[in-house]
Amino acid sequence: MLDIPLRDYFRETRVFTSRLAIAIVVVLLMTLALVARLVYLQIINHRHFATLSQENRIHPRPIPPVRGRIFDRNGLVLAENLPVFTLEIIPEQVADMSVLLERLAGIVQLRPRDIENFKKQLRRRPHFESLTLRTHLNDEEAARIAVNRPHLDGVELQARLQRHYPLGGLGVHAIGYVGRINESELRRIDQSAYRGTQHIGKLGVEQRYEDLLLGGVGIEKVETNAHGRALRTMARIAPDAGQNLYLNLDAGLQAIAEKALSGRRGAVIALEPATGNVLVFASMPTYDPNPFVNGIDPDSYRLLLEDPDKPLINRAINGQYAPGSTIKPFLALAAMQAVGFDPSQTVMCPGWFRLPGSRRRFRDWKKFGHKKVDLHEAIVQSCDVFFYTLAVNLGIDYMHDFLSSLGFGARTGIDMIGESKGLVPSREWKRARGEVWYRGETVVTGIGQGPVLITPLQLAVAVNTLANRGTRLKPRMLRSIEDPQTKVLQQIVLERIGEIKVTDTRHWDMLTASMIDVVHGKKGTARRIGWNASYKIAGKTGTAQVINQDETYDEKNTPEHLRDHALFIGFAPAEDPQIAVAVVVENGGHGSSAAAPIARELMDAYLLPREKITASLAQDATND
């Protein structure tokens, strides 16, 4: 039998013809659907669309929201919005842009940079949005524009709100600033949320809390005449103002910290032990953020970039330093948790330390040594040999784990963007880099030298943990969020990030006692700031080497930028801590002389009855 399917041509033709008939019906039905839609648009809703077309002289225009203001904890204004006259152009309504720009240049001052900026905006503009040509027109210029306006199609004079930082550079690294939205930000943001807004938070709190500060854009429908000039507003959906932010920062304390550090490079952090609130967030030198708002001119920017003191660097979270002797209290705590450690054990300090089987001497800062010291005295006098010995006994891996549990080598989680991690070295870390761990590195880790790096903020958070007897809190810039309409405040709650468990709670007492004697003891390295204090300070000095030093190191004859970094950590009052401070002064020399006095000054200002610091500061600002 044949198994070849026979083609039934007649059937094929019949199937095709019926399908073709169906196709024709479908085509007709679909055409009918289109016609129905057109009847709906053109006949039934004709009047509606005809009106819209007539009124297409009515432009929807975005109304940018008012950006939320930023205050310090006492309500002092850190960032506000001031009205300025801006010269704006709606490109759709300009017949010949180059002629217009030429004419405008004859009326107001236009720098080449203004025109360049404007053309940049022109390339990525949305429909019918006005673009800023110049800001900060003075009254005379504004008046001249107003007079000439009939001859200037597409030109608008607007009173816009402009970000302003009344305290100038004070706390600039904490507050940050806003600036014009750049290309890469443009790709990242939801553009519909930024219609009419040309600025975005670039650094600090302004950047971190951009979503809260921004607010919601409004729309107004504006009727324009044939030349596109706005005649009247037809409808308006008001924008939602951004949230106001209260920071934990105390501008008065901040000013004291910055003044104490003025002329130097460094950072000061002060925290509130009970909450982790950031009272002071200072990085020196500072710079004035106001010129950045509308784009700083290239020359001034270059000056800032090339400044050898690097003011643009946020040392508080991005400066990474060797902790020096400030690491000792933490290692002391680590030792107390180690099995078999006896705090009363003594070590003989001849002024140097040598690993068994090695000829290399590790020097103590005191040339002829501290003689016999126990843990308490080793902290008080900052005996290096004791901690060399301790480090060797604890081992690098144990030290690494304990320091890590205090938050070193990891971001603190502060509400800022771009925090550095620092570094707590370990054998593991070196192996990952294809290197081997040397015993000598364990030795110097004992005094906070070698590869170990900390940020001033990490140091502050760690000393805060000591003040809290083990409770680790996340450092917080933001204190509360205020709804601009209802004025309802939403408080930010504190956040625990861990707990240092000790085998015996007396360890805290011992450690605090040692740190008190650093400041108040007869042999304490920071006794200079302690003898006349009316409250008890627990602290620790630190001096971190910048260059490898031998016995010929002479501070006076060493160039400034190669001198030691000076550090100090502490909290006060020691028995009931209200403030915890970390100070790093780059190339400051000694922790006791350069860093500790700054901490004392802050503590005095915070703990003693306040002079009207805040008030005098506000006075300064208005006098500017």
Q: Which residues are catalytic?
A: 325
Nearer Cβ to another protein (60/295): 60
Q: The tokens 């016999």 sit on which residue? A: 372
- Residues 385 and 377: beta-carbon distance below 8 Å: no
Q: Which residue type is seen at 143?
A: A
> Which residue in the block uniquely carries the two structure tokens 């030290």?
399
119 vs 227 by CB, closer to another protein: 227
Neighbouring-strand partners of residue 163: 81
CA–CA dist 599, 588 (Å, integer): 14
| CB closer to another protein out of 126 and 216 | 126
- Beta-bridge mates of residue 77: 71
CB of 15 to another protein, least distance (A): 4
Measured between alpha carbons, how far is 481 from 69 in angstroms, rounded to an integer? 10
Q: How do beta strands 131-137 and 77-89 pair?
A: antiparallel
For the bound state, the minimum distance from the C-beta of residue 133 to another protein, rounded and expressed in Å, comes to 21
Q: C-alpha distances in angstroms, 545 versus 449, 497, 588? A: 7, 32, 11
Shortest CB 264 distance to another protein, Å? 49
**Distance from C-alpha of 430 to C-alpha of 450, rounded to nearest angstrom:** 12
**Residue that is written with structure tokens 């842009």 in the block:** 97
Pick the closer one to another protein by CB: 45 or 358: 45
CB of 185 to another protein, least distance (A): 17
Nearest distance in Å: CB 37, another protein = 5
CA pair distance 257, 580, nearest whole angstrom: 13
Q: Which is nearer to another protein, 16 or 438 (CB)?
A: 16
- Indicate the residue among 44 and 432 with the shorter CB distance to another protein: 44
Helix spans in 425-549 (H): 427-432, 439-445, 456-467, 506-520, 527-530
On the 0-12 / 13-18 / 19+ scale of CB atoms within 10 A, 393 is middle
Q: What are phi and psi of 426, to 5 degrees?
A: -155, 170
Q: How far is the CB of 61 from another protein (least distance, A)?
A: 8
Interacting residues of 400 by C-beta distance below 8 A, sequence separation 6+? 424, 425, 426, 428
- Cβ proximity to another protein: between 129 and 153 the closer is 129
Q: Cα 427 to the chain's mean position, in Å?
A: 32
DSSP reduced 3-state for 244: strand
CA dist., res. 143 & res. 136, Å (int): 13
In the bound state with another protein, the residue whose beta carbon lies nearer, of 80 and 129, is 129
At residue 440, φ and ψ (nearest 5 deg) are: -60, -30
Q: Are 243 and 168 in contact (CB under 8 A)?
A: no
Beta carbon of residue 201, minimum distance to another protein (angstroms, whole number): 22
- Any idea what the Cα angle at residue 269 is, between residues 266 and 275, rounded to 5°? 170
- Residue 556's Cβ-side half-sphere holds a number of Cα atoms within 13 Å equal to 0
Write out the two tokens for 493.
Answer: 């709650």
Tokens 């550095």 locate to: 420
CA distance 59 to 92: 12
Query: 3-class DSSP state for residue 240?
Result: strand
Q: Give the shortest CB-190-to-another protein separation in angstroms.
A: 10
CB of 103 to another protein, least distance (A): 23
Q: How far is C-alpha 316 from the geometric centre of its chain's CA atoms? A: 9
Residue with smaller CB distance to another protein, 55 or 401? 55
**Pairing of β 70-71 and β 244-247:** parallel
Least distance in angstroms from the C-beta of 4 to another protein: 10
Nearer to another protein, 92 or 211 (CB): 92
Any residues with CB less than 8 A from the CB of 148 and at least 6 apart, and which? 107
User: Please, what is the minimum distance in Å from the beta carbon of residue 95 to another protein?
Assistant: 13
CA–CA–CA angle 482, 485, 490 (5° rounding): 25
Enumerate binding residues for another protein (CB under 8 A). Answer: 5, 7-8, 11-12, 15-17, 19-20, 23-24, 27-28, 30-31, 33-35, 37-39, 41-43, 45-46, 48-50, 52-54, 56, 60, 62, 92, 126-129, 191-192, 195, 219
C-beta closer to another protein: residue 41 or 547: 41
Distance CA 317, CA 447 (A): 22
Two tokens at 9? Answer: 């041509």
